[in-house]
């Protein structure tokens, strides 16, 4: 049945009204966390876990800044400058930062960046200067491994240490359109995967070890032993929930669906057989046997959406009603949601707010409060709107 022109106008008007109503009644807003600071293309925010109240912001061009976590801070210091090593622009650049769990004692931290000639992703370790904890020793670089990139997009970028102490690394499928090399399903390739390595030892000519629990450790089929999970398109951002230990990832879709996944060892998340819960590659006959489908998806293009930005399960104390919910966003639409999922019942999703910014990443401080990076330079925090009916406002009224 075809929709008439008048009916179509009504549907669009009704949808716009619903969106406006949701936005007008949202109880949250974003507030500039550090009003005197601005950064060049911030794409990651971390804390060192060393007991100091500092924030580290990653600039895509190859800089890491450090500053005290206070709203009145006036300036940020350059912690690491590797602009001469980094190829940036588009989806290329310095993309991820992770601090060793024992950083307070060993001073080790890890970065994920793209370099040229040949175009490749580099996973490297650096060391902080012993006499200046706000400055890293650029000459201390130890490259763990490098992966050639066939195209300039879908590089992944996230690094994070899991509750098991291992380093997890996100790599996209290598780029182009539709994963033409089928890297996501190819276990002989590191692309389109979540990797897991042990950085506390070395093995042969590798500056790391393969955890013996990795799903393909010791295999005889030429599968990459670093693989933890596969079948991913571009898992730009993932994080661990410190309470459940679950690994949450936002996997950027092709042209139709954006998805949220709970990443587990050895599982196949479907790309390029599936995009979200939907068939992508007709030649595969949409055989979903053995695949792990997302816990949540949303439609590409809906209200201007285009790329999921994975976030964090909220474990702070400011917003009690958000505790345990996964906070994530969309890069193009500026929409931020809270997703509820207990592993048993279907996930439920709630729109928190919409802002006219380009959200590139989330981060947390030592108190597990959430920050939002705007690619245009600012760092924001979630806040209640004034004079609303938020739990915090109601408690103040009492």
Tell me how crowded residue 135 is: count the other CB atoms within 10 A of its CB.
15
Q: What is the mean pLDDT of the chain?
A: 92
The tens digit of pLDDT for each residue in 211-232 reads: 999 999 999 999 999 999 999 9
Domain assignment of residue 42, yes or no: yes
Domain assignment of residue 16, yes or no: no
Domain assignment of residue 264, yes or no: yes
Please give the pLDDT value at position 233: 98
Domain assignment of residue 141, yes or no: yes
Please give the pLDDT value at position 26: 76
Q: Whole domain around residue 265: which residue ranges?
A: 34-397
Tell me how crowded residue 189 is: count the other CB atoms within 10 A of its CB.
20
Q: How far is CA 273 from CA 155, 165, 180, in A?
A: 20, 32, 12
Domain assignment of residue 23, yes or no: no
Q: Mind listing the pLDDT tens digit of every residue in the chain (398 residues)?
A: 333 433 333 333 333 343 433 444 679 999 999 999 999 999 999 999 999 999 999 999 999 999 999 999 999 999 999 999 999 999 999 999 999 999 999 999 999 999 999 999 999 999 999 999 999 999 999 999 999 999 999 999 999 999 999 999 999 999 999 999 999 999 999 999 999 999 999 999 999 999 999 999 999 999 999 999 999 999 999 999 999 999 999 999 999 999 999 999 999 999 999 999 999 976 667 889 999 999 999 999 999 999 999 999 999 999 999 999 999 999 999 999 999 999 999 999 999 999 999 999 999 999 999 999 999 999 999 999 985 555 544 433 33
Burial class (CB in 10 A: 0-12, 13-18, 19+), 276: buried
The tens digit of pLDDT for each residue in 352-370 reads: 999 999 999 999 999 999 9
Please give the pLDDT value at position 286: 84
Please give the pLDDT value at position 5: 39
Domain assignment of residue 161, yes or no: yes
Please give the pLDDT value at position 383: 95
Domain assignment of residue 27, yes or no: no
Domain assignment of residue 26, yes or no: no
CATH number for the domain including 61?
2.120.10.30
Which residue shows structure tokens 């599936």?
274
Give pTM, 2 decimals. Answer: 0.92
Entry field: residues in the chain: 398
Strand 278-279 versus strand 296-299 pairing type: unpaired
Q: How many domains does the chain have?
A: 1
């Amino acid at each position: 049945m075809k929709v008439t022109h008048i009916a179509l106008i009504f549907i669009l008007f009704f949808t716009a009204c619903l969106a406006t109503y949701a936005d007008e009644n949202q109880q949250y807003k974003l507030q500039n966390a550090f009003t005197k600071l601005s950064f060049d293309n911030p794409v990651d925010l971390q804390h060192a876990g060393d007991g100091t109240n500092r924030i580290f912001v990653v600039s895509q061009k190859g800089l890491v800044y450090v500053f005290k976590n206070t709203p009145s801070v006036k300036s940020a210091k350059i912690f690491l400058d590797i602009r001469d090593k980094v190829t940036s622009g588009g989806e290329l650049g310095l993309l991820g930062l992770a601090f060793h769990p024992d950083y307070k004692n060993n001073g080790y931290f890890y970065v994920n960046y793209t370099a040229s000639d040949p175009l490749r992703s580099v996973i490297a370790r650096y060391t902080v200067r012993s006499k200046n904890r706000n400055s890293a020793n650029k000459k201390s670089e130890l490259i763990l491994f490098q992966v050639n990139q066939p195209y300039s997009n879908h590089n992944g970028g996230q690094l994070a240490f899991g509750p098991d102490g291992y380093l997890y690394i996100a790599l996209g499928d290598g780029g182009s359109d539709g994963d033409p090399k089928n890297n996501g399903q190819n276990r002989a390739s590191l692309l389109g995967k979540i990797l897991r390595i042990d950085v506390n030892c070395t093995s042969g000519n590798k500056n790391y070890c393969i955890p013996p629990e990795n799903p393909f450790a010791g295999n005889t089929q030429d599968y990459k032993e670093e693989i933890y999970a596969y079948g991913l398109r571009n898992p730009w951002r993932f994080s661990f929930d410190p309470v459940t230990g679950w690994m949450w990832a936002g996997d950027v879709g092709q042209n139709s669906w954006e998805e949220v996944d709970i990443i587990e060892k050895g599982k196949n998340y479907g790309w390029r057989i599936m995009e979200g819960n939907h068939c992508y590659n007709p030649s595969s006959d949409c055989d979903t046997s053995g695949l792990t489908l997302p816990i949540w998806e949303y439609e590409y293009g809906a209200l201007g959406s285009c790329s999921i930005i994975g976030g964090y399960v909220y474990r702070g104390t400011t917003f009690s009603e958000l505790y345990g919910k996964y906070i994530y966003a969309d890069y193009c639409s500026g929409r931020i949601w809270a997703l509820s999922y207990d592993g048993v019942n279907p996930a439920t999703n709630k729109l928190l707010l919409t802002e006219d910014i380009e959200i590139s990443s989330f981060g947390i401080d030592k108190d597990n409060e959430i920050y939002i990076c705007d690619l245009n330079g600012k760092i924001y925090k979630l806040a209640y709107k004034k004079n609303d009916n938020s739990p915090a406002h109601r408690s103040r009224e009492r």
